[in-house]
Structure 1
Amino acid sequence: MRYKDIRKECEELWAKNKYYVLSKSHKAYLEIRAYLREKEPDVLWVNKKIQEARDMKESKKDFSNAVLHIWGYFKKEASIMEKRILFDILNEYMEERSGQTVVIDYVNTLLKKYPNEYLEKSTFLTGE
C-alpha cells in the first residue's frame, strides 16, 4: 500500500473516532492527534490506540468536553432553547441524574435537524 493511501486510511479512521476517543481521554486524543502529524503513520497503531480508549472507564469531564466540541457544529444554527436543553441534559449527566445515552440521543436529534456529514460518521454518535 502506498504512503498516501495509508495516511488517508489513518485520517479516515481518526475522523470517525476522534470524538469517541476525546470522550474517554483528552490525553489519548492529543497523543493520537500528534502521532498523525508524523511522516509515516501506521493504521494498526491508530487502531490499537482507539481500542485502548474504548477500554477506558467513563470520564465525565472528558465526555462533557467531547459534547462541547460537537456543540460547536450546531451553535450557529440551533435555537436558544435547543442550546438550553442540551446544556441542561449535560448538566444532569454531570450530576449523575442521567446517563451518556440521554446526551448522545439529544445530540443525534440536533444532527437530524441540522445535518452534518462529518458528525454522521462519528462513532461517538453512532455507537459503532
Structure 2
Amino acid sequence: MKDAKQVSLCQKLWARNKYLVLSHSSRIYLEIRQYLKGDQVEVAQVQAMIDQAVSLPENRGQVCNAFQHVWGYFKKKASPAEKAEFLQLLERYQDGQAEQGALAAAVRELLLKYPNRYLQESALVFGGQT
C-alpha cells in the first residue's frame, strides 16, 4: 500500500526537478518516472536519482531536449517572432554560441508575459534544485 504523504512529497519534488533531470539524462528521467509508478516510493530515493542526474556533465543535446519540452508550454501562446527568437537561441546554444543560462533567461522572460505556475517552480528555469 502506498504511503500517501510520501507519494505527495515525491510528486512535488519530481515536478520541480523533472526538466532539470531531463536536461542531464533522459535515461534517469525515465527511471524516475517508472519508480514513481511503483508500490513503494520514498523522497530520499527520488532525491538520490535527481542528484545522480545533476552530477552528470552538461550535454547540449539533453539540454536542448529539455528546453524543447519547456517550449511546448508556450507554443500556442507565443508570437511567431517569439518562437523564432527562442528557436534561434536554442540553435545557438546547440552550436556552442550561447550558454544554458540564456535559455533559462529566455524562458523567464516568456513567463512574464505568459505565466505558468508549473514552470515558475521549475529548477531548470530558476536554477538549482528547489
Q: Is TM > 0.5 for Structure 1 vs Structure 2? A: yes
Q: CA deviation at 1:112?
A: 1.1
Question: Match of 2:119?
Answer: 119
Alpha-carbon distance in 2 for matches of 1:38, 1:30: 13
Q: CA deviation at 1:98?
A: 1.1
Residue 10 (structure 1) aligned with residue 10 (structure 2): yes
Alpha-carbon distance in 2 for matches of 1:127, 1:103: 12
Residue 87 (structure 1) aligned with residue 82 (structure 2): no
Equivalent residue letter for 1:86: F
Alpha-carbon distance in 2 for matches of 1:47, 1:97: 32
Give the unaligned 5+ runs of structure 2: none
Equivalent residue letter for 1:115: P
Normalised to the residue count of structure 2, the TM-score between the two structures is 0.95
Count residues with an aligned counterpart.
Answer: 127
Q: CA deviation at 1:123?
A: 0.4
Equivalent residue letter for 1:30: L
Equivalence map 1:93-112=2 (5 Å)? 93-112=93-112
Equivalent residue letter for 2:76: K
Question: Match of 1:58?
Answer: 58
Normalised to the residue count of structure 1, the TM-score between the two structures is 0.96
Question: Match of 1:39?
Answer: 39
Alpha-carbon distance in 1 for matches of 2:103, 2:3: 39
Alpha-carbon distance in 1 for matches of 2:36, 2:69: 20
Deviations 1:21-62 (A, max 9, x none): 000011110000000000111111100011111111001111
Q: What SS does the corresponding residue of 1:24 show, helix, strand or coil?
A: coil
Alpha-carbon distance in 2 for matches of 1:119, 1:103: 13
